Amino acid sequence: MSLKIQTSNVTNKNDPKSINSRVFIGNLNTAVVKKSDVETIFSKYGRVAGCSVHKGYAFVQYSNERHARAAVLGENGRVLAGQTLDINMAGEPKPNRPKGLKRAASAIYRLFDYRGRLSPVPVPRAVPVKRPRVTVPLVRRVKTTIPVKLFARSTGVTTGSAKIKLKSSELQTIKTELTQIKSNIDALLGRLDQIAEEQKANPDGKKKGDN
């Protein structure tokens, strides 16, 4: 009667030889597949020196790199317990993975530092955001015949390049006063035109109806 030697659980040695002969098995249905099942499948490619099964993934340690690469070529993409296995050399993670497969275990592997611990995830540095400068338009002086006192009282505009802060109610008042002034100016201009026409028609200054 032959006794089966139990495989070691050690798969986290960090020496180059062990890393180069270690196989990572991702997307593993560990709810169904046990350690003995993994050993049975991968022992046909060479002597399994160690095997450790975690939630969703596993590691198989060979004593020879050639055996590990043969296992990757032979078992990668195999469907086991309803899930497609994602297998690669532990020391050579895949840079690009095909879409449509579950990669939760692979993400855990990328954080695994070969010592059985999860390495801390680096926190991205905050990039300072520059606030845009808000410029207030300056009021240019405009030559006008409107009395300066009235305009200054209505608008509250300061001389020079001072900034203006007006409320909506003040702007509405200014607009009303300017509209009224414009109407008065238009009426005066119309009256002046009328007087000029009357003088042309009656240069001697006589009223109409006088003989």
Range of the domain at 41: 16-89
For 167-178, the pLDDT digits (tens) are 788 888 888 889
Q: What one-letter code names the amino acid at 50?
A: G
* pLDDT value for 83: 96
Cα–Cα distance, 27 to 21 (Å, whole number) = 20
Of the residues 33, 54, 89, the one at which a domain ends = 89
What CA dihedral angle connects 197, 198, 201 and 203, to 10 degrees?
A: -110
Please give the span between the terminal C-alpha atoms of the chain, in angstroms, as a whole number.
156
Of the residues 37, 58, 89, the one at which a domain ends = 89
Of the residues 34, 65, 89, the one at which a domain ends = 89
In a domain, 34, yes or no: yes
Indicate the pTM of the whole model. 0.45
Task: Provide, rounded to the nearest whole percent, the portion of the chain with pLDDT above 70.
Answer: 59
In a domain, 187, yes or no: yes
| 162-159-134 Cα angle (round to 5) | 20
In a domain, 111, yes or no: no
* pLDDT value for 31: 95
Count of domains in the chain?
A: 2
